[in-house]
Amino acid sequence: MLKSLIAASLLMLCSHARADTAAAPVTVTLHGQRFSVKLATNEAAREHGLMMRTSLAPDHGMLFVFPDTAPRGFWMKNTLIPLDILYFDEQHKLVSAQLNVPPCKAVPCPVYPSAGPARYVLELSAGTVKRIGVRDGDTLAIEGKLGAVD
């Protein structure tokens, strides 16, 4: 009985520690504006992205992290809100942006490519880039742990 209780307690502690790590907040700062971001660090999360969301707070976004730097292309399949899509290289420098990208209304959905190789992609509510004055070459500061990227 005591062994079962100890094992259950350890399992609960380990689960709680994993949940805290997974829930650790990640923020990014771009052109002096701070955003809380949801991470997409694996293929499944990157494929799902912001699908089926009906809103995105002005100070929130999604940061896609890739294991390599390469040309990227994003589409808006099942994405219900317009977005600004920003592409950053391995030094976190803005290399390209697709602004006010509308939800996909017809299949096949258009692809919105980067103008150069990117390792990080930040999706924000449409109009954010214009509102905060983002410019080519701006640097993205990432605060928090990105975890494993695959």
Mean pLDDT value across residues 47-57: 95
Residue 2 lies in a domain: no
Classify residue 103 by its DSSP letter. P
The answer to whether position 122 is within a domain reads yes
Q: Is residue 69 part of a domain?
A: yes
- 5-14, 58-67, 118-127, 135-144: range with lowest mean pLDDT: 5-14
Q: Is residue 136 part of a domain?
A: yes
Q: pLDDT per residue over 6-39, tens digit each?
A: 333 333 333 333 333 344 689 999 999 999 999 9
DSSP 8-state class, residue 42: S
Give the predicted TM-score (pTM) of the model. Answer: 0.84
Which residues span the domain enclosing 131? 25-143
Number of domains in the chain: 1
Assign residue 95 the CATH number of its domain. Answer: 2.60.120.1140
11: in domain: no
Q: Is 7 helix (H, G, I), strand (E, B) or coil?
A: helix
Residue 19 in any domain: the answer is no
DSSP sequence for 104-137? P-SSSPPEEE-SS-EEEEEEEETTHHHHHT--TT
Q: How many CB atoms lie within 10 A of CB 43?
A: 11
Residue 15 in domain:
no
**Distances from the Cα of 68 to the Cα of 23, 104, 118, angstroms:** 25, 27, 8
149 within some domain: no
Question: Once rounded to an integer, what is the mean pLDDT over residues 49-77?
Answer: 96
